[in-house]
Structure 1
Amino acid sequence: MESLQSLESIENWPVPTAAAAVVRADGGLAGSHGPVDHRFPLASVTKPLAAYAALVAYEEGAIELDEPAGPEGSTVRHLLAHTSGLAFDEHRAMAAAGDRRLYSNAGFEVLGDHIAKATGIPFAEYLHQAVFEPLGMKSTTLEGSPAKDGVSTVADLVRFAAELQAPRLLDPRTVAEAVSVVHPGRKGVLPGYGHQSPNDWGLGFEIRDGKSPHWTGSASSPRTFGHFGQSGTFLWVDPDARVACVALTDRAFGPWAVEAWPAFTDGVLAELTRSR
């Protein structure tokens, strides 16, 4: 395995503990740095994992993406795409389904309950059976809300990042739909970065497009997708660069991350380009 020197820059981040890794589209590990087996709270990086379980439930026939779920007029697709109208952290509707991009933890909690009812399996257990176990993510657990209470390691999330690039658990066409814009043109707030117009999302995955400011780098392609968490964590996949990156820390997201993460991403992409 080659070593990426750009990953070593996490040592300069003002955090107690950090680990990062890069995985190529063929599943090969391009490099890692830090304690990759240390378990970190994921915060909202939990959402892509929960979304993937929802897509497994869809392919198994337990749910349909366009069946009712959540507030009146909302569907599973709306919940995944943050267009259900539900408030951020409250189970109350603030807009009609499909009208606005309202980033919602409550929406993912409703989604988890909906899947548990449809499958007869508690959502945390379903997520384990559908995603963690088949991908060998032995150190990953959901310890509460499917919106924000996952705990994992860089080593485990690299497995998930590889899956996103070369799906084995899902039909690649399902993943392609999940990382394409759903309900295009919707404005909204990207937490930590303010209003974005448009604020594009797929099914549980944020899509970079032309957003500015953004937590990925200036060199990241518009098709880059992923998620970051308020616990100082992120996972992105750049399909054009054919690479994915995971970074986990134990310091809450803040100005330090706004400054450090884009430069880190640009450094990783630049080094990978030089090495080809």
Structure 2
Amino acid sequence: MSHQVGHQTAAALLRRLAAEQAECRIPSIMAAVVRDGHIAWAAGRGRVGGEPPTTRTQYRLGSITKSVVAVAVMRLRDEGLLDLLDPIGKHLPGARFGEATVAQLLSHTSGLTAEPPTPWWERTPGVEAGELLARVGPGHVKHRPGRRFHYSNVGFALLGELVARLRGRPWLDVVRQEVLEPLGMSDTTARPRAPHASGYAVHPYADVLLPEPEHDAVAMAPAGQLWSTTADLARWAAFVAGDTRGVIDAATLEEMREPAIVDDGDAWSAGYGLGLQLTRYAGRRLAGHTGSMPGFLATVWADPADRVGVLFLANTTSGMSRTLLTDLLRILDEHEPSLPREWEPAEADADLLALTGVWHWGPTPYVLRLLPGRGLALEPARGGGRASRFVPQDDGTWLGLDGYYAGETLRVAADHLDVNTFVFTREPYDPGAPVPGGVETWRA
């Protein structure tokens, strides 16, 4: 089956990209749509070295680098070499602000200052990790750890050093061997290789360019050093959408995509997980990251619900619209919406079939349904309320996967369900079941 979009869809996508490049005066830009792990459409506008950019032209990723580093951190957690609740000082003894946890650094809730106490780090040569740790002190903690979202490039510099110390080799070697190579991202590097775009600032009132400097950020490199291509970033979009290729467990990736903090209050249109930015658009919950370095902008978003991703790479410091990628998603949905997955019948054990149907939490009816792999879903019959999915355990119980009962235990008895002490019965407050507090008689 072809993964390519149709001609009409491709024309509409290209029209939107061309408008972005022309109206925002971008020296060059590449964009792509990813479906089911494959590039369904890719196109470029502008020139790199006098030629149109291609899917192999490198651009700087900027802060998308943070997500790659975060995966290396989560691998350490999964191996038992750290706990997300560990204070960073446990692993970086030289840190003078060691109470912030690994999870808080990953989610930008550590309270650490946004930028390091050095000259503008994105435009000047970097300093070594030891010097950076010596410069950052208690005065650079701007908020109580855990209180609020405060984006911190410094925090990811520390996470890169954490990876290096626990693995005993540079963070870049770790992410290359453990993340990039297994995902087939061989054109993602720390410094540019040919062919690559040069970074430019575009004059706000004239059509002229200013070359932007590019240096090795050294200790700050985990915050934004990597360069990549459209082809490689498409593989990353597929990874974020769920194609992990064994780099991390699917459950760990799902944990990274969970909102740890909301960035815009009650609206909840933007937030942050563990190393992944989150946004909501037109019913979609997207995960990925933006990237910005002098001379470069990049963004990648992926929707695991239907395995779709969108991305762009551009060599301009600023001035792009904020809607390019969501517009590409809108065009895709209008022209070629994803087909629902085909329904197929599944086998079910008789003992599980007997559990399905209506149960009552007090007077409130719930419906229990079977899920693949002997899983269960318990949902209020009238919608809303405390809905959760459960997965079977070796001891005959079920573990809550999400919702109110995430992490809690469901036990099945002959005449009731026990969900973390809450008793569900076939009839409302069944007097024959061990309902805590006892059951009297229904009255007029």
Pairwise CA distance, 1:271: 3.0
Q: 1:7·1:20 contact (CA, 8 Å) conserved in 2?
A: no
Structure 2 equivalent of residue 87 of structure 1 = 113
**Structure with greater proportional helix content:** 1
Matched, 1:28 2:51: no
What is the CA deviation profile of residues 214-252 of structure 1, one whole-angstrom value per residue up to 9, with x for unaligned ones? xxxx4361x211111122210001223430112111112
In 1, Cα distance between the equivalents of 2:297 and 2:327?
A: 15
In 2, Cα distance between the equivalents of 1:15 and 1:98?
A: 38
Matched, 1:7 2:13: yes
Structure 1 equivalent of residue 328 of structure 2 = 264
Alpha carbon RMSD of aligned pairs, Å? 2.3
Q: What are the ranges of 5 or more consecutive residues in structure 2 without an aligned counterpart?
A: 45-53, 90-96, 117-135, 192-216, 341-444
Structure 1 equivalent of residue 289 of structure 2 = 227
Q: 1:73·1:96 contact (CA, 8 Å) conserved in 2?
A: no
In 2, Cα distance between the equivalents of 1:261 and 1:196?
A: 24
Pairwise CA distance, 1:180: 0.3
Larger mean Cα displacement after TM superposition, 109-118 or 45-54: 45-54
Pairwise CA distance, 1:84: 0.8
Q: 1:229 to 1:196 in 2, by over 3 A?
A: farther
Larger Rg: 2
- TM-score normalised by structure 1 residue count: 0.84
Superposition map of 1:127-138 within 5 A: 127-138=175-186
User: Match for 2:337: what amino acid?
Assistant: T
Pairwise CA distance, 1:61: 3.1
Q: 2:77·2:83 contact (CA, 8 Å) conserved in 1?
A: yes
User: Match for 1:225: what amino acid?
Assistant: A
Structure 1 equivalent of residue 234 of structure 2 = 158
Report percent identity of matched pairs.
32
Superposition map of 1:41-60 within 5 A: 41-60=60-79
Q: 2:156·2:223 contact (CA, 8 Å) conserved in 1?
A: yes
Whose RCO is larger (CA < 8 A, sep 6+)?
A: 1
In 2, Cα distance between the equivalents of 1:157 and 1:31?
A: 13
Pairwise CA distance, 1:261: 4.1
In 1, Cα distance between the equivalents of 2:336 and 2:256?
A: 26
**Structure with greater proportional strand content:** 2
Q: 1:16·1:250 contact (CA, 8 Å) conserved in 2?
A: yes
What is the CA deviation profile of residues 29-57 of structure 1, one whole-angstrom value per residue up to 9, with x for unaligned ones? 32222311100011112111111122222
In 2, Cα distance between the equivalents of 1:176 and 1:270?
A: 28
Pairwise CA distance, 1:96: 1.5
In 1, Cα distance between the equivalents of 2:187 and 2:38?
A: 20
Structure 2 equivalent of residue 99 of structure 1 = 147
Q: What are the ranges of 5 or more consecutive residues in structure 1 without an aligned counterpart?
A: 189-194, 210-217
Q: Work out the number of aligned pairs and report it.
A: 257
In 2, Cα distance between the equivalents of 1:142 and 1:54?
A: 18
Q: State the secondary structure of the residue aligned to 2:222.
A: coil
Pairwise CA distance, 1:72: 3.5
Q: 2:59·2:229 contact (CA, 8 Å) conserved in 1?
A: yes
- TM-score normalised by structure 2 residue count: 0.54
Q: 1:7 to 1:47 in 2, by over 3 A?
A: farther
Structure 1 equivalent of residue 278 of structure 2 = 207
The structure 1 segments of at least 4 consecutive aligned residues displaced by more than 3 Å after TM superposition are 195-199, 259-262
Pairwise CA distance, 1:187: 4.9
In 2, Cα distance between the equivalents of 1:27 and 1:274?
A: 14
Q: 2:72·2:175 contact (CA, 8 Å) conserved in 1?
A: yes
User: Match for 1:97: what amino acid?
Assistant: P
